[in-house]
Chains A and B, each alone.
Chain A
C-alpha cells in the first residue's frame, strides 16, 4: 500500500501517561481518537499495524442506504469520515433519488489507498494525538475501573479512559474451505488474549462471523460482457462544509454481472467443501442475515436462475476489483472455477480469494448509552467489538465513544442521541436495549422516525450538539444559524407571494398538465399540491433562495401531514423517555412481573420507561406493574 511508511512510533508526548487511549485504528478508532484529541484531551491511538489505519478490508463503499445518512450525521457532529470520503472517493451517488426525501442516501465508492492515507494525514495533524503500533493483550484494572493497557510484551501504558475499537481482531480466525487460521484480515496478527481477559472481568462474549468475496485483476475482466454503473451526474458531498473535491467526468465506474447456471452447478456440486457447509465442523460464529454467502444464496433461493454481482473498483492506485455478491468460504480451487464461470470473467485472475472470518464481540447490552461499559468504569467500546458490521456503524460509535469519553473527563453528562434525533441514536439504542443475534447493520427499516432522520437535515438535527461538545467551530455554527434564518424567511416569502391565474399562467399549467387552481393562491398553498414543484413555480416568480433552502422548505410543505404524524409519535416516546428508572432498582423486589420480563430487565437495566418498553419480552402489563412500583418506592411525581 502506498501509505506504508517505515515508522512505528510517532510520539508527540514525552511521558507515558494519557487521558484517553484508543485501542484499534479502524473506522471506530479513528473517529474516537479524532474526537478525543480535537476536544483537547491527550490521546494515544494504538494499532496493530500503521498500514491498516482506516483500512477497508471488505467492500469499498462509504455510505449506502441509511449508512449514508449516518456519514452525514457524523459530519454534522464534527466527525471526519464524510470529509475524508469526499476528498478521496472514486464515485458518488444519491441512492433512492426517485423516492421520497426520507430514504435518499449517499453512497461513495471509497479509494482503499487514498482514504487511509488522507485519514492518517488528518490524524497526524492533531496536536494532542500520538499514534503507536502495538498489540494490546490486557487492561490495567483497579476497583472495577480501567487505568490503562498492557501490551504484548508486558509494557504498561496508563490512562484515565480506554476505548476499545478492536474490530474483528479479537481471537480472529480466517476460514477458507477446510482450513482455519488464527489471523485477522490481510493475514494480520489477531489479539489472542484480550477477549479472554474481558471474559475474566465479567463480560459476556459472543462469537460472530462475516465474509468477504474475491478481488479480481481489473486487466483480466472483459467489461464488454457486463453493464456499466457510473456515478451520478450531479455534484454531491457528504460534508456540510466542503465543496465537491472531484470532477463528475473523472469518476470511476462500477460494473454489473450475473452468476450463471454453470456457477450454480459448481457451487452445488462442491457444497461440502465450503467451510460453512461442513468442511469445518467447529463454526460457532453467527453470520449476518443480510450478508449471505453465495453458497447460502444458491441453496436458499434455489429457484433463482441467477444472482446479481457488482464489480467495484477498490482504488485508483491498484487493479483489484471487488466482486460484491460473491462472498464465499469455498476452497481456492473451487473459487477459481466459480469465478471463471461468470460472464466477462472467463480469463479473470483472482488476486485475493474470498474468506470468512470468525471473531469475538462483547454482547452489547453490557453497555450504557454513552458506550461506557456497565461493569468497568471508564472503559468504552465501539464498532465491531460491539457486534455491529460496517464502516459507518463503526465510525459513528467511535465518534460517540470519543465524545463521551471526553465529556466524562470534563465532568459533563454524556451525549446520548435519541431515536428521533439520529440514526446513530437508533443504532446505539438497538444495541444496548435489544442486543444482537447476528452482526448488526443499520437499515432504514430500523428507524421508526426515518421521516425525521433525513440526509438533507442532518446538520439541522445535530450540529448544535457538535458545537456544544466542542467539535464544531463557531464559524460552522454561525453558518448553520444563517441557514435556519433563511429557511424561515423562505417560508414567509412563499406565504406572502401569490400567483394570479392569468392567460400566461394558465397556458403553462396546461402545458405541464397540472390542474389549474380556480383562484389566486399563495406559493405555499400551491407547493402543497403533490404535482407542483419549486422549479415549476419559478416559471412565474423567482424564489430568491439557494437549492438547499428550497429543498428544506419544499419537503416540509409537501409532506407536512406525514412529518407532523412523526413528530407526534416522537413526542409520545419522549414523554416516556422522561420517566427515569433509578439505577439502583432491584427487579427481584418488583412483585408480579413475568419472569422473562424480569430477566430481561435485569440484563438490560433500562434507564427509562421508554427503553424498557423496547425490550423484547417485556409486555405492557409488566410496564404497568413497574411504574406502580416506581411510584411506590421512589414516589416520583411525573
Chain B
C-alpha cells in the first residue's frame, strides 16, 4: 500500500518557487536518481541541499533546493523529499513527470494527509475533518475526471479502448471457444497492423492533449514578416505591458528566444525572427532558412504586414507557408496611409488584426484573439485539469511503452495469449483515465459480438 507518491504541493501557476513533495519508502532513492548534487541517500536528515534536477540524458531541468527528511520525523512519518523548483509551469511539471517515470505514483487528493493520519501522525480526533477533506477533494477529482472525459481527447481514448476491446475479446473468444471456426483466429500476423494503428492513435491522442502541452510548455510564438514592419516593437509592446522579463541568456534554450509573457496564466514564448525576404546574400539566406524552420516549430505565427506598403508576391508566398499553422495576420502602422488590398491575402477576416503599435492600438485585441484561438478561457490553470492532464499524459506514455513491448513480443513470436495480456493491461490502464475498467465490459463484448454457445 505504501508505495511512493508525489505531487506538486504549491498552487499551480507562475509563482516564484514551487514545491514538489515525494513521500514513501523509495522517496529518497527515486529523487536521488534525478538529482545532480550530493548523494541524497547518504545525507543527514532535515538538511537542505543545492543541486540540479536532470533528465535521462543528463540535461539539467531546473536548479533546485532539495530537503531530505527521513522517517519518522516527517508529515507523513514516511521518508519525504521536498524539491523546491523555480516556479514556472514547465520545469515543475517536468520534475513531476520524471518522478512518475522513475516509479512514483501521482498522489490522490488528500493522500499525504491521509497517510499522515493512518500513520498516526495526526490525532484521531481530527479524523472526521480528514474524511470531510478527502471527500471534498474527491469531489474535485471526480469533476476533474469529468472535465477530462468531455471533449476530443476523451473521444479518442474511448475510440482507442473500443478498438482494443475488439481485439481482446476476439482473442478471448479464440481461447475460450477454440473450436469455433467461424470466429476469426487472431494471429500475430493479423495483430501487427492493428498494433501499428494503435500506436499511431496513442500518438495522436498525445498530440491532441494539446491543452496539457500548452499549460506545460507554453505556446511557441513566432513573429515573422519583412524587415521593418514592426516586429521588434510588437515584442517590446507585449513585454512592456506584462512587465515580463526579457531573457537574453545566450545558449540557454534557443538563441532566438526573445521574451516570455503570460496571457490568462498561459505562457507565450515569443521569438522574433530575422526579416524574411528573397535574398542572394548568403549569410542572410542562413537567417531565412532558420526562420522557416522556426515556423515549423511554432504553435502560433504572428504574421506582420506593413499597412503602408503594397502586398508583394513574396509576402503571399510566405503566407502560404504558414497557413497550415495557427496564425494571425497583423496589419501594423494603421496610423499611416493604407496601401494594401486585404483581398489579396485570401484569409478569413477574423484572422486579421489591424494595429498601430506606435499609437498603442490593437494590442488588447491581439491578446483576446490569442485567447480565443487556443481556447485559453477554457483551460483551467488551477490544480484539477492541470493534474489530470499530467496524469493522462503519463498514462499514455506508459501505454506507448507497452505497445513497443508488444511489438517486440510479436517479433519474438510469443503466443498470442501472452500478447493479449499486454494488450489488456494497456486497455485497463487507459480505462483508469476515465475510471471505467470493468471486467463485465469484456464479457459483454465477447458475447455480443460473437456467436457462441451450445
Binding site for B on A (CB under 8 A): 58-59, 65-66, 95-96, 99-100, 102-103, 211-213, 229, 288-292, 297, 300-301, 304, 306-308, 310, 324-325, 327, 443-446, 451, 530-531, 559, 562, 565, 575-576, 579, 591-592, 616, 619-621, 624-625, 627-629, 631-632, 638
Contact = CB atoms under 8 A, between A and B. Distances in A.
Given A445-B443, A627-B118, A530 B454 contact: no
B182 A324 contact: no
B176 A445 contact: yes
Contacts of B132: 592
B418 A445 contact: no
A631 B117 contact: yes
A624 B114 contact: yes
Given A559-B414, A631-B118, 17 more contacts: A99-B416, A289-B443, A291-B453, A292-B453, A304-B182, A308-B181, A443-B176, A444-B172, A559-B418, A575-B1, A591-B131, A592-B134, A624-B108, A624-B114, A625-B135, A628-B131, A638-B1
30 contacts: A65-B177, A65-B178, A66-B176, A95-B178, A99-B175, A100-B418, A213-B454, A292-B453, A304-B182, A306-B182, A307-B182, A308-B181, A324-B454, A444-B176, A445-B172, A445-B175, A530-B414, A531-B413, A562-B418, A562-B421, A576-B1, A579-B1, A591-B131, A592-B131, A592-B132, A619-B435, A624-B110, A624-B134, A628-B114, A628-B117
A304 B421 contact: no
B10 interface: no
Nearest to B139: A621
Contact of B175 (A65, A291, A310, A632): A65
Contacts of B51: none
B453 A327 contact: yes
B178 A301 contact: no
Nearest to B117: A628
A530 B175 contact: no
Contacts of A629: 131
Contact of B134 (A66, A619, A628): A628
B442 interface: yes
Nearest to A96: B178
Given A444-B175, A445-B176, A621 B141 contact: yes
A166 B155 CA distance: 48
B412 interface: yes
B50 interface: no
Contacts of B373: none
A632 B124 contact: yes
B175 A96 contact: yes
Contact of B413 (A211, A327, A530, A592): A530
Interface stretch (B216-224, B265-273, B444-452): B444-452
B423 to A, nearest CB: 12
A559 B114 CA distance: 39
Interface in B141-195: 141-142, 172, 175-182
B323 to A, nearest CB: 45
Contacts of A58: 454
A62 to B, nearest CB: 15
B451 A451 contact: no
Contacts of A619: 435
A445 B178 CA distance: 14
4 nearest A-B residue pairs (beta carbon): A100-B415, A621-B138, A289-B447, A592-B135
A628 B126 CA distance: 11
A620 B131 contact: no
A186 to B, nearest CB: 18
A592 B128 CA distance: 10
Contacts of A96: 175, 178, 417
Interface string B35-70: 000000000000000000000000000000000000
A289 B173 CA distance: 13
A281 B432 CA distance: 42
Contacts of B454: 58-59, 211-213, 291, 324-325, 327
Contacts of B177: 65
B176 A65 contact: yes
Contacts of B414: 100, 530, 559
Contacts of B244: none
Given A307-B451, A632-B124, A616 B134 contact: no
